Structure 1
Amino acid sequence: MNLFRSVQAVASASGEGAIDWTAVADAAKAATDPGDVALTDAQRTGYATDVRDARDRVRRVASIDFDVPDTIEIQHRHHWVDANVDTFRRVLAPLEAEGMTAFPGVARTVNTGTMAVMLTFLAKNVLGQYDPLLLAGDDDPDHALYFVHPNIERVADSLDVDTPRFRRWIAFHEVTHAAEFGAAPWLSGYLEDRVESGLQDLSAGGISSQEFQEMNAAMTVVEGYAELLMDHAFDDEYADLRRKVDERRGGRGPLAQLARRLLGLGLKRQQYERGKAFFEHVTDARGLDAAGRVWDGPENLPTDDEIDDPDAWLSRLGL
C-alpha cells in the first residue's frame, strides 16, 4: 500500500473525460493491499462446492430455474477494483458524455479522487458480489460472481467465526441474487432503464423522485427476497453471523461510518430490513410461492408504499 502513489495518481489525472479511469484504478490499488489469493486445494474446492450447493438448494426451495455464471472469480482486492472500474465506467458513461464544467482540469481531478476513495473503501470491505452487468455490451457476459477472498478471511477472523462456514454463508447470499435475475429475465432491463433515466435527469440538472422511488423499491425487493431465500435455503443457523456482522458495522470509527453514509450503504441496510419485513409478512400470510409472484413481471413489483403495507400488495394481485 502506497498512499503517496495513490495521491500522485489522482493529481496526475488527465484525458478529455470527466473521470480519468486509469488514474482511478491506479490510485485505488496504490491505497489498498491486494491480499493473497494463493488458495489451498481445500479452499478452491470449498468455493466451488458452496456455490454448487447454494444453486441446488435455492432451486429446490424457490422452484426457480436459474444458473450461476460459468466462471466464478476468486479475487484479491486489486482484481475487484479492476472489475468494478469497468462497471462504473459503463454506468457513468452517459454523464461523462454531457461534457465538462468550466474548469475541466479541476473537475476531472475531483471526480477522479472521489471515485478512487469510494473504490478503495469498497475494495477493503466487499466480501462477495453478484453482478448482473447492467448496461453491458452485446459481447460482454450477462452476469458475474466474485468472491474477495482476503476480505472473507480477514472478516471471519475478526468476527471469530469458522471461516468455511462464513464463506458458505456469503456464497448462499450471492447465489440468491443470481436466482432472482434468473427468475425475472426482465429485471436487468427494468433496472437499466431507471439507471439511464436517472442519469439523464442528473445530467440535465435535476433528480427524478419517481425514478429514484422505483429503483429503490426494486432494490428493496431484490435484497428482501434474497433474505427470504437465505432463511429457507441455507443449511445452517446464521443468526450469530448476522449479529456479529451488524455489531462490526456499528462499531466502526467515525471515518468509516461517514464513508458508509456517503456511499449509500445505510440505504442498502434499510433495503434489507424493509424488504425482509415485506416478504416475511407475505410468506406468513400466503406462502413462499406467493412471495415469488413479484418476479412474474414489473407490474407485480410492490410500490414504495406497498412495501410498508404488504396486505395492499396482496390485495392488488388478488392473492
Structure 2
Amino acid sequence: MADEDRSPEEEFQELIRQLFGGSGGEIDPEQLERLAGMQIDPAMMRAVMQQLQGAFAAGGTDGGISWDAAKRQALHIANQDGLGVTDGERTDLDQAFALATLWLGEATAISELATPPRALTRGGWVEETLPVWQELAEPVATSIADALTATLSEQAPEEMQDLVKGAGRLMRTVGGSLFASQLGQVLGRLSTEVVSGGDVGIPVMPAGEAAILPQNFADFGRDLEIPEDQLALYIATRELAHARLFRHARWLRLHVMSQVNDFARGIHVDTDALEELASRFDPSEPEELRRALESGALIPARSDAQNAALARLENLLATIEGWVDVVTGAATSRLPSADRIAEAVRRRRAVGGPAEQALNSLVGLELRPRRMREAAAMWRAVTDAVGIAARDALWDYPDLMPTSDDIDDPAALVARLEARARGEEPVRDEFDDALDRLLAGEGDGGIDSPGQDDQGSDDPKPV
C-alpha cells in the first residue's frame, strides 16, 4: 500500500512499529506531517517518540524498570561539587567515633560494632543506600507503569487493541523509567542534606555500619553556634547508637521494612489525575510532570488501611528513635552543649529538609517519628526503674519490644518489668488463656496471628 493511501490510524501503527526498531530508530518526517489528520501535533509526537525510544533503550528489552537511571541521576547531583573527604575530616571523625564508643559503653549494654564507622561522601551515601530506596519506591513505580498501560489500552480505538497489547511492555518501561529518573533526582538532593547513615530514621545503611557525611555535617552546624568538636561527638554517638541497635536486634531491620511494605502495598496512582496531566502534557516542557510527581498529585489520599499501617510504622520508628535519643543523651551528658544539640536534632527530624519532603511526596510515605518525645519518656522511665541491662534486653526478641500502648502508659510497662525482676509471674491475660486452650487441644484457642492485636495492629505483644 502506498504511503498516501494509509489512514491516520495506520500511520500511527507504523510509527509504533518504528519505535520497536523497524526503521533503525529513525522516524519519517513525512509520516509525522500526515498525523495532522488525527489532530496530533507532529512536533509533539516527534518529541514523544524520541523520549519513548530513549526510555525503551534505557529499560532494556524485558520491560523492567531501569534503576540504573535513578543511580546515574542521583550520583550526578551528589558528585557535582567534586569534593571528597579530606584527611583532616577523616581524622577528626575517627577521633569523635572513638570517644563516642567509650561513652556508649557506659550508656548501653548493646555491644560495639564489628565494622569501623567511617566518613562517607555524598556519592558514597547514594551507592550504599540506593537498594533500600529502590525497595521503598518500587510499588509506586510499578503502579505508575500499570496506570500508563491501562490508560493506553482505554484510550486506543478497538482496531488498535492488538497493537496496544504489544506496546504494553514498552509503556511499563516508560512509566517505570520516568519514575526512576525522578527518584534519582530526589535522592541526589537528599544526599546533600543527610548528616549520617541513620539520619532518616529507617535503616538505609547496610546492617551494622555507621557513617557521617562531613560535607553535610559542616552545613548542619554552621548556624548553631556550637563548638564543632562537641557537635561531632554528639552526632557520632547518635549514629553509633542507631547502628548498634540494628546490629544487635537483627530482626528489627526486617520488621521496619515489612511495616513499610504494608503501607506501600496500598499505594496506587490516581489514573484520572494521570489522564488529565497527559491530555495537556508538552514533552518540551517536562517541568510540569516533574512537579506533579514531586507534589504527590498522582498519589490519591491514603486509605484507612494505609493510615493504620502508617500509624504502626510511626510508632515503631518513634520507639527506635526514642531509645537512640535516651542512650545518646546519657552518653553525651559530659558535653556542655548536649541539650542544645539534641533539641536541634529533634527539630530537624520533625520538620525534615526539602529533599526529604519531596521524597515523602514521591512515594507517599512520611518517615518522621511524631511520637519520639513520648517514646523517649517511656525509655527514661524504664531505665530509671530497671536499669540499662534490663531496658536493652527488650530488644532481644520482637515479642519483648514495647508497643504503642506502652508509649501511652509507661507505668504499666514498668510495673510488668519490675514484677519480672522480682521473679513474679506476669498477670495472665486473654492471650495466655487462649494459648492454654490451644495446647490442650481445644480448637485454635481463639489466638490471632503472631504480632496482631484486636485492631489488626502489627505491634508485638507486650512483655
Distance 2:197 2:184 in 1: 19
Matched, 1:111 2:111: no
Amino acid in structure 2 at the alignment position of 1:270: R
Corresponding residue of 2:274? none
Q: How many residues align?
A: 303
Q: What's the CA shift for 1:269?
A: 4.4
1:236 paired with 2:282, answer: no
The answer to whether residue 123 in structure 2 is matched with residue 63 in structure 1 is: no
After TM superposition, the structure 1 stretch with the greater mean CA deviation from structure 2, 49-58 or 27-36, is 27-36
Counterparts of 1:158 and 1:106, CA distance in 2: 43
Q: State how far apart, in whole Å, the 2-side matches of 1:245 and 1:123 are.
A: 17
Paired residue for 2:83, among 33, 36, 43? 36
Q: CA deviation at 1:242?
A: 3.4
8 A Cα contact 2:193 2:355, kept in partner: no
Query: Measured at CA, do residues 90 and 262 of structure 1 come closer, stay the same or move farther in structure 2, by a change above 3 Å?
Result: closer
CA contact (8 A) 1:228 1:276 kept: yes
| Change beyond 3 A, Cα 1:37–1:165 | farther
Q: Per the alignment, do residues 202 and 243 of structure 1 end up closer, same or farther by CA in structure 2, a change over 3 Å counting?
A: closer
Amino acid at match of 2:361: L
Contact 1:11 1:109 (C-alpha < 8 Å) held by counterparts: no
Aligned letter for 1:143? G
TM-score when normalising by structure 1? 0.75
- Match of 2:388? 288
Matched, 1:190 2:288: no
Q: CA deviation at 1:159?
A: 2.8
Partner of 1:128: 196
User: What is the letter of the counterpart of residue 77 of structure 1?
Assistant: R
In structure 2, the residue matched to 1:4 is none
Kept in 2, the 8 Å contact 1:66–1:183? The answer is no
Unaligned runs of at least 5 residues, structure 1: 1-8
Who is 2:98 aligned against? 52
- Give the direction of change, closer, same or farther, for the CA distance of 1:252–1:316 in structure 2 (3 Å limit): closer
Higher relative CO (Cα under 8 Å, sequence separation at least 6) belongs to 1
How does the TM-score come out when normalised to structure 2?
0.55
| Alpha-carbon distance change, 220 to 269 in structure 1, aligned in 2, over 3 angstroms | closer
Return the offset for 1:196.
Answer: 5.0
- Is the 2:326–2:379 contact (alpha carbons within 8 Å) kept by the matching residues of 1? yes
Q: Max radius of gyration: which structure?
A: 2
2:264 and 2:345 map into 1 onto residues whose CA distance is: 33
Greater mean alpha carbon deviation, residues 284-293 or residues 58-67: 284-293
Letter in 2 for 1:76: T
**Residues 1:157 and 2:256 aligned together:** no
Q: In structure 1, what is the equivalent of residue 239 of structure 2?
A: 174
1:127 to partner: Cα distance: 0.5
Q: Which residue of 2 aligns with 1:300?
A: 400
* Aligned pair partner of 1:218 in 296, 313, 316: 316
Deviations 1:25-55 (A, max 9, x none): 2222333434522413x43222222223222
- Please name the residue that 1:79 is paired with: 124
Cα 1:168–1:200 shift into 2, 3 Å: same
Quote the offset at 1:228 in angstroms: 0.7
Q: Write the letter of the residue equivalent to 2:330.
A: H
Q: Any idea what the Cα deviations from partners look like across 1:172-226, whole Å, max 9, x if unmatched?
A: 10100122224423323433444455555658x9856665444333322211110
Indicate the RMSD between aligned Cα atoms, in angstroms.
4.0
Contact between 1:61 and 1:232, CA under 8 Å: does it hold in 2? Answer: yes
Give, in whole Å, the separation in 2 of the partners of 1:134 and 1:97.
23
Q: Which moved more, 1:10-19 or 1:20-29?
A: 10-19
- Residue from 257, 270, 280 that aligns with 2:370: 270
Question: Residues 184 and 10 (structure 1 numbering): CA distance in 2 closer, same or farther, change over 3 Å?
Answer: farther
Q: Secondary structure at the match of 1:129?
A: coil
Indicate if the aligned counterparts of 2:195 and 2:213 stay in contact, CA closer than 8 A: yes
